[in-house]
Each structure stands twice: as structure tokens, then as C-alpha cells.
Chain A
Amino acid sequence: MTNYPVEFRPTPRLRRLATIAATAVLAAIVSARGELAVVAVAPLVLLTMSPRSMLPRSVQLACVLAPVRCVEDDELALSLEVHAPGINRVEAVARLPAHTEGRLEQHDRNGSVTTARWLVVPHRWGRYRAGPVHVRLTAAHGLYAATLDVPVEDIVVYPGGAAVARAVAPRELPARFGEHPSRSVGTGVEFAGVRPYADGDRRRDIDWRTSARHQKLFVRQYAAERSFALVVVLDVGVDAGAEGRSTLDLTVRAATGLAQTYLAAHDRVGIVSLGGSLRWLVPAGGARQLHRVAESVMQVRLDDSVVGGGIDRVPPAALPTGAFVCVVSPLLDGRALGAVRDLRARGLRVVVVDVLTTEPEVPRRSQLGQLALRVWRMQREAVRSELASLGVPLLGWDGSDDLSGGLLHAMRSLRPEVRA
């Protein structure tokens, strides 16, 4: 609880009662009729029974928002506690940032302690300045009021991860321990086949049914479990679409969802953001990397004044050999296509996730507009054709479906030998 000094000021009610009392007393004196003073009595009693000296000079307040770090559409609790003896009425307005919904969930008054709790739901990722909570205290039967602005901590809203049900991966994986069954034989748990028994094989690996059928000992083989590096390239140079479902929103949600799923599968995940200032995060694994990815994604903002260069400026450590690159882009300008060309030139396996869900709005009756729209569609088609010629699968995503199905399909179509 923090002690806040308060200064109570007379309210319009006090002024009106004082005016009524003065008018009635004056009328009684001027008209020499004592009974007119009756009108002044009730206001005078109200004024004199609420002395200003009884008003508190400070109040204790506590305002807590928890948690201050959350994911989109999480529920936060904003709690306010006011300890102020001699206060008749406590009102509050919780000023919430944009894209944030809030409602008073409960309030209670126990003696001089007033508590209130708001349910706050941020709907869009970003860093927001919440509050202040504007508190209005009324004392002395509404004759004096004081206002206070109570600061609230800023909210950090991480993007809600896209639905990625499972971490699909190509069969051809570098020799790193992980959770993806690879094509090579190893010590995993997924059945990979049988082979004739050889000296040194474990007895428990013998497949008795196959051995009985062939009258010869066979042992089971298991797929080696490997991990791989996933680099998510975010094209944030352009933003299109409605707030909350714009291409930038879908891009950061896709990146967060992929990072969450693949880091949970003990893979390494890196981030490269193109457009605006160029940023990258070298692929790594672990819970700490998820935090780094989230913070990196949060820094992604549309900033036309900064042009940070293309993918050629990204160091090899951020795009390691054998990494799988997922380019999330609305494909609205040539930079993304250029980046894909560079990535292919580096010999990396690339899949493009197209997050553009809208088309330019043109008047229906405008022939020129319709022509422009047709040209725009043809340009999009040309981009798709070029991606196909580069051997890069294209996956459309509108933010509602599970990404893993599309990714699996894209990985299968990547190369004949690459399978999930």
C-alpha cells in the first residue's frame, strides 16, 4: 500500500446548498419573514455536519496488475485497494490501452477498505502502457471530492502462437540428438525395420515372429531420433489487412507458434526479421530461447524509415547449413522473393508461408480499378510461379488452421527424399 496525499475540493453540491441557504436567509431578512429561513435549515445542517477538518489528508492505495507479461487473449487481473477512513463513496475508471477489453468483475467495501477487481483481456500483441486508474473519492456526504491517478505497470502482450499441433520435420536430419525420427537407424523408439541377427545384437531386440517365419534370427531396428534447426524468416516490411488479423499479426503469431512447438520438441529455432531493421537470432534450443524468440518477435515493428538490408547480410551462424527455413511473408514486395532466392542459393531448404488474406479494395464499377486488380493478381501468380521454379513450396495460411499439416505437405513436396 502506498500513501497518497489528497486534497479535497468542494463539489457543486456544496456550492448549490450554500447558495440555497444564503438565498433563503437573505429572503427571510429582506422580507422580514422568519419562516422563510426554514428552507435554509436543511442545507445548513448538511453543511455544518460535514466539517472540512474531518477530511483525510492522505489515503493508502494499492493497484496491482498481474501478470504483466501475457499472451494475447489471456485474462489479467487489475486489483485496486483503497484504505481511506471517512470516505463515503469511491469511484474508479481503469484506463486501458487500445485493443484491450476490461470489465469490473467484483468490488467490495469493508469498513474503510474498498477493494475492486477488473478483468483485463488484451487482444493484440505489443507493449502497452496501462492505466492510470483514475480514482475519485467523495467525502462529507458528497460535499467534498478528491481525485487521484494511480499508476499501473506496463503490459507486455506476446503474440498468441499459431496452432502447430506437432513438430513435423524432414527425414534427412543432421546428426544431432532430438525427438524427430530420422531415416537413419539408431536408438529411438520408432520401428524402422528388421535385419538378420549379428553378433553383439541385444537379445531383447530379436523379432521372434519374423525369426519363426524365416527359421533364422532377425532383430528389430529403430529410427534414430534427431533434431534440426528451424529458422523463421519474418517479412515485416509491409502490413496489410485489418488490425488484429493483419499480415504482421499473422506473421508474428506464426513465428511464435512454430518456435513454441519446435523448441518443445528440443529442436533449435532461430529468427530473422526482414524489412525495417534487419535482426536475427542464432538458432538455439531450450526454454530460454523461447523467451528470446518472443522478445525478438515483439521488437518487430513496421518502420519504413529504416532499411536494414537483405538476407545476404545475415551471418552464416544465423542460417546454419542443413537448417530448414520457413519464410513467413505476405509476398507483397520483391524483398521476400529476393530473400528466398538468396536462401536457395545458400543451399537451404525453404518453405514460404503466405499470410496475405485480403486483396486490394477497388470500386466495383471502376474499370481502371478492376484492371489494376487483375494486374495485381497476375503479379501474385508470377511470384508463385517463380517460387515453384525455385523449388520452394508455398503454403497459404489465414491464422485459423493448424500449420503443421501444411508444413508436412510442404516438406514432402520439397524434395523426393525429404519426408516427415
Chain B
Amino acid sequence: MMFRRVMTTVATAAAGLAACSLSLFSGERPVLTIGAASAVAVLGAVVSGWRWLASVAALTVTATVLFAAAVSSDRVTAWHLVGASALVVGLVAGLDRVERQARTPRPELIGLDPLGCRSLVPVLGVLAAAAVAVAADRPAVPSVGLVFLGLAAAVTALVLATSRS
């Protein structure tokens, strides 16, 4: 049990730090600063198991990735962002598990879906991100209508996903 707990902590911290390491590709001082801050937040969150710190860590790591890509678009490619996206999703899942382990009294796991079922949707998400990255790499004619259509589709999907009926 202790081994599993340590492994979860190490894996979560590794995912967060790896996502933060995107700031090293950029090399810009502001990006490095926010990257260091998010690394500290990740380490603090996995050690303490505090929920608010985990939320801060997830947000700052995302900000680091986005800031690095925005500031240094020549060194941080869309493929870097696909990898960072996968790491951020892994970080969120890991922080969830760390929080669960820190809960008292600690609940006992009595039923869990197989690994294949659990990892199907996240893998699909990363594949979709890769598809978007491929599309982003290609030169495209800017189309305001297409952007609005995409946004409308995303909002509709979210509303449907979160509606109760």
C-alpha cells in the first residue's frame, strides 16, 4: 500500500514537472519564472494533498504551457502542446488520486473498472489533440465563420454533457 502511494506521488509529480519543463524550451525569463512557480505548486500539492493547492497547480501548469507556446512559437510546436496536454490530463488524474489517499478515514477501494475502460477516453482525447495539432500545422485560410462554428460546437457539446436530462 505504501509503495503504491509513493508511486502515485512520484508519477504525479513527474507528470507535472515534465509539463513545466516546456518552459525550458522557451528559455524566456517570464516563462521560466511561471514554470518554476508551477513546479513548486505541483510538488506542494503532491506532498500535502491539499485540494486548493492541487487546483492552483493544475492551473499554473496549464498557464506555463500556454505561455511558453504563446511567447516562443518557433521553439514550442503544436506537437509539444499535444505532449503537454497529455501530461496535464495525467497530472489532474494523479492529483485526484493523491487527494483521495490523503482523505481520512481512508476509503477502501472495492470495485474498479478495468484499465482498458478507464484509459480509453483519455487516449481518445490525446488522439483528438494530435488531430488538431496536425490541422494547426497546415497552412489554412483564416475563416471567421469556421472559428465560430467550432466554438458553437464546443459549447453545445459541453451543455449536452453537463445537462441532467
Contact B85–A38 (Cβ < 8 Å): yes
Instruction: Given A16-B58, A38-B133, A134-B107, check contact A44 B154 (CB 8 Å).
Output: yes
Instruction: Given A23-B66, A46-B121, check contact A82 B55 (CB 8 Å).
Output: no
Q: Cβ of B136 < 8 Å from any Cβ of A?
A: yes
- Partner of B110 from the list A24, A45, A104 (CB cut-off 8 Å) is A104
Q: How many residues of B contact A (CB 8 A)?
A: 59
Question: Per-residue CB proximity of A76-92 to B under 8 Å, as 1/0?
Answer: 00001010000111111
Inter-chain CA distance A42–B109, complex, in Å, is: 27
Q: Cβ of B2 < 8 Å from any Cβ of A?
A: no
| B109 partner residues in chain A, CB cutoff 8 A | 89-91, 107
* Selected interface stretch from B6-14, B29-37, B157-165: B157-165
Q: Cβ of B18 < 8 Å from any Cβ of A?
A: no
Secondary structure call for the B interface = helix
Question: Per-residue CB proximity of A21-64 to B under 8 Å, as 1/0?
Answer: 00111010001011111110111111111111100000000000
Q: Cβ of B62 < 8 Å from any Cβ of A?
A: yes
Q: Cβ of A368 < 8 Å from any Cβ of B?
A: no
Q: Cβ of A11 < 8 Å from any Cβ of B?
A: yes
Q: Cβ of A6 < 8 Å from any Cβ of B?
A: no
Closest to B112 in A: A89
Contact B129–A13 (Cβ < 8 Å): no
Q: Cβ of B65 < 8 Å from any Cβ of A?
A: yes
Inter-chain CA distance A239–B106, complex, in Å, is: 35
Contact B73–A50 (Cβ < 8 Å): no
Contact B163–A47 (Cβ < 8 Å): no
Inter-chain CA distance A104–B105, complex, in Å, is: 14
Q: Cβ of B122 < 8 Å from any Cβ of A?
A: yes
Q: How far is the CB of B66 from chain A (nearest CB, A)?
A: 4
Instruction: Given A12-B54, A23-B66, A36-B81, check contact A42 B89 (CB 8 Å).
Output: yes
| A210 partner residues in chain B, CB cutoff 8 A | none
Contact B107–A93 (Cβ < 8 Å): yes
Inter-chain CA distance A232–B93, complex, in Å, is: 63
Contact B55–A16 (Cβ < 8 Å): yes
Q: Cβ of B92 < 8 Å from any Cβ of A?
A: yes
B residues touching A (Cβ–Cβ < 8 Å)? 51, 54-55, 58-59, 62-63, 65-66, 69-70, 73, 77-78, 81-82, 84-86, 88-89, 92-93, 95-96, 99-100, 105-113, 117-118, 121-122, 124-126, 128-129, 132-133, 136-137, 151, 154, 157-158, 160-165
A residues touching B (Cβ–Cβ < 8 Å)? 11-13, 15-20, 23-25, 27, 31, 33-39, 41-53, 80, 82, 87-95, 104, 107-109, 114-116, 134, 136, 141-142
